Amino acid sequence: MSNKIPLNNFSIGESELFFIAGPCIIESEESCFRLAETLKDIFLKNKAPFIFKASYDKANRTSVHSYRGPGITKGLEILRKIKERLKIPILSDVHCTEEISMAADVLDIIQIPAFLCRQTDLIVAAADTGKPVNIKKGQFLSPWDMKSVVEKIRSTGNGQILLTERGACFGYNNLVSDMRSLIIMKTLNCPVIFDATHSTQLPGGQGSMSGGDRTMVAPLARAAIATGGCDGLFLEVHEHPERALSDAATMLPLNDLQFLIEQTKDIYNIVRKSVKL
């Protein structure tokens, strides 16, 4: 079974590191367009395949008072415009089966959030679209538990599956990254991604919101690529993270992205020469 997933301008799982990058949430149409255009230029300059990510709704915010996004109708319209004008592939997450047909009309990759990675009806409905599906491994699951999740998608005949590691629960309000997870999930014959920003999160760590430590993003990203089990990096990026309306503590400053791309690409190419997974 092939583990390559073709998109409009490259194939995931080929012999090059790819990136999923963008803001945690659509804050405004203007800011989303500006960031998408800047990211496209940065990744083109570095000859790195790139998928733009932004959420139209964050249904799992810590507080009922937290900003959730523009909603599905307005949010998908913004993402459609970005896709058509900038000619870049788009990823966003869905939260219920009712969203899927609208989302599939716009998205190139449908993402299942970590907290919903065991929701069979949601997973099967996403897979039934025929679109690639990115499943984030829940903080509460072991990497070998993802075998059952993969089987749910493959039961529909859809083999376009990506698996994303985003840390595991380590006591209250803390996550830890077990790099063995990348190697184990790789045996499921799916491209494996490391979410370097959410892995630094402290869920609910600030009481009414999640905390985190963005200084750990680059070290964890480098470590993940060095395992040889990682095909891509997931990075939430913001021009001014401290002003972000969601995940402000963990998003990578846009100014730090260029150097991280260079570092991780170099590590990826070194490891590829000596490791076969």
Query: pLDDT tens-digit profile of 161-192?
Result: 999 999 999 989 899 999 999 999 999 999 99
DSSP 8-state code for residue 251 = P
What local confidence, expressed as pLDDT, does residue 273 receive? 82
Domains of the chain, each with CATH number or no CATH? 5-274 (3.20.20.70)
Contact (CB, 8 A) for 138 and 167: no
Instruction: Give yes or no for residue 59 having a pLDDT over 90.
Output: no
Q: How far apart are CA 200 and CA 220, in angstroms?
A: 8
Lowest-confidence segment of 56-65, 80-89, 143-152, 174-183 by average pLDDT: 56-65
Tens-digit pLDDT profile for residues 38-56 = 999 999 999 999 999 999 9
**Which tens digits make up the pLDDT trace of 186-222?**
999 999 999 999 999 988 766 666 678 999 999 999 9
* H-helix segments, the chain: 29-45, 72-86, 100-104, 120-128, 146-154, 180-186, 217-226, 257-274
Secondary structure letter of residue 143 according to DSSP: G
DSSP of 162-222: EEEE--EE-STT-EE--THHHHHHHTTSS-EEEETTGGGEETTTTSSS-EE-GGGHHHHHH
